[in-house]
Copies of this chain bind each other. A is one copy, B any other.
Amino acid sequence: MHKLNIGIVGATGYTGVELLRLLARHPNANVVAVTSRGEAGVHIADYFPNLRGVYDLVFQNPENAQLEQCDVVFFATPHGVAMRDAPALLAAGVKVIDLSADFRIKDIPTWEKWYGLPFTAADALAEAVYGLCELNREQIRNARLVANAGCYPTCVSLPLIPLLKNQALLPDMPIIADCKSGVSGAGRKAAVNTLFCEASDNFKAYGVAGHRHLPEIRQTINELQTGIADKLIFVPHLTPMIRGMLATTYVHLRDGVNPHDLLTEFYADSPFVDIMPIGSSPETRSVRGANICRIAVQRAPEFDGNVWILLSVQDNLVKGAAGQAVQNMNVMFELAETTGLDDVAVLP
């Protein structure tokens, strides 16, 4: 069976270890290089104890990793790195899947405003495809550079896309996405505010004044139904659990529109989106460790107007990051979209 030679840049974070977990059992995956400046020389099994006996790889400095000989390189890095290093890999004929935000926003001034860096890879950006298979499957099939969709944007956009494509939202009414994420979304860096004793048994909103995923979601909305993107209000919350994300999205729909029908039809051929029966309430644990987004819709009770509550859950590290990246890889290399992504969610 054809094996893809794979490199992972910046594999010391949670998206990195999750990529390694998923690729370990992918029949077409052959991880040949994992890079980290800080941990160069360290065996990944000494760094991630779940990988003992699974891989025999040592973190390398990127310049020694011969990434240009890979078929595909994943960037699991802070923003700015892929922007700097991806173009050379593309020039060497390597396909790139960027899990960071560098290539997600098509409007450069918007990106620079929200990420606080000058953007330096306009040519790469021009060919980058937004990595949400359910929206862009065909473009991803032919892409050399995929900008893996963000965790919140994936969870919020999937229930909205079929409604937007049908111009089903009332233009003058707000779209309110009240989102809740597990702590792993904050990454693996030493910080006080994500210590166990700070984040456990606690709940709070954050980034209310403006979160970088707001323009990313608005870009997707604007592509599908014009004049409504600015009506999005997005408030993320930090939840005391490791993995999992739930979006509660409140939408005002045109009279007669039933979102369950639109979602069911639109996702009929998408293996990783589960449209649940009307009245269901998805739980984050039902997708823990699995590359699935489960969606349920309920009409606002005792409310005069066609207002619906869209409930969507995913594992922020899988469908919201590493699993989605593998899904994109499968599509880019003409493998079955589900290859290596058949894990059943871990419950309890």
Chain B: minimal CB distance from A270 (Å): 12
Contact partners of A209 in chain B: CB under 8 A: 279, 298, 301
Contact partners of A313 in chain B: CB under 8 A: 203-204
In the assembled complex, the Cα of A311 lies from the Cα of B348 at a distance in Å of 25
Within 8 A of B (CB), among A70-91: none
Contact partners of A243 in chain B: CB under 8 A: 201, 348
Partner of A348, one of B25, B174, B197, B206: B197
In the assembled complex, the Cα of A244 lies from the Cα of B201 at a distance in Å of 8
Within 8 A of B (CB), among A201-225: 201-206, 208-210, 214
In the assembled complex, the Cα of A102 lies from the Cα of B274 at a distance in Å of 40
Asked if residues B197 and A184 are in contact (CB atoms below 8 Å), the reply is: yes
Asked if residues B309 and A204 are in contact (CB atoms below 8 Å), the reply is: no
Asked if residues B197 and A183 are in contact (CB atoms below 8 Å), the reply is: yes
Q: Give the interface centre of A25, A195, A290 by most chain B CB atoms within 10 Å.
A: A195
Chain B: minimal CB distance from A197 (Å): 4
Chain B: minimal CB distance from A108 (Å): 18
Within 8 A of B (CB), among A172-218: 174, 176, 178, 180, 182-184, 188-192, 194-206, 208-210, 214
Q: Digit string of A10-36 for contact with B (CB within 8 Å is 1, else 0)?
A: 000010010011001100000000000
Partner of A283, one of B49, B176, B192, B302: B49
Contact partners of A233 in chain B: CB under 8 A: 250, 300, 303, 307, 309
Instruction: Answer yes or no: A65 CB below 8 A from chain B CBs.
Output: no
Contact partners of A60 in chain B: CB under 8 A: none
Contact partners of A298 in chain B: CB under 8 A: 208-209
Asked if residues B283 and A202 are in contact (CB atoms below 8 Å), the reply is: yes
Task: Take A301-B210, A309-B235, A346-B21 as given contacts and tell me if A183 and B196 are in contact as well, using a CB distance cutoff of 8 Å.
Answer: yes
Asked if residues B188 and A190 are in contact (CB atoms below 8 Å), the reply is: no
In the assembled complex, the Cα of A250 lies from the Cα of B204 at a distance in Å of 16
Chain B: minimal CB distance from A188 (Å): 6
Instruction: Answer yes or no: A100 CB below 8 A from chain B CBs.
Output: no
Q: Give the interface centre of A196, A240, A288, A300 by most chain B CB atoms within 10 Å.
A: A196
Asked if residues B344 and A196 are in contact (CB atoms below 8 Å), the reply is: no
Contact partners of A206 in chain B: CB under 8 A: 281
Asked if residues A198 and B348 are in contact (CB atoms below 8 Å), the reply is: yes
Instruction: Answer yes or no: A304 CB below 8 A from chain B CBs.
Output: yes
In the assembled complex, the Cα of A289 lies from the Cα of B202 at a distance in Å of 13
Instruction: Answer yes or no: A343 CB below 8 A from chain B CBs.
Output: yes
Instruction: Answer yes or no: A241 CB below 8 A from chain B CBs.
Output: yes
4 smallest CB-CB distances across A and B, nearest first, come from A49-B286, A50-B345, A50-B347, A197-B348
Q: Can you list 14 A-B pairs with a CB-CB distance of less than 8 A? A: A17-B348, A20-B344, A21-B347, A24-B344, A25-B342, A49-B294, A50-B290, A194-B196, A206-B281, A214-B302, A237-B246, A288-B346, A289-B346, A343-B343
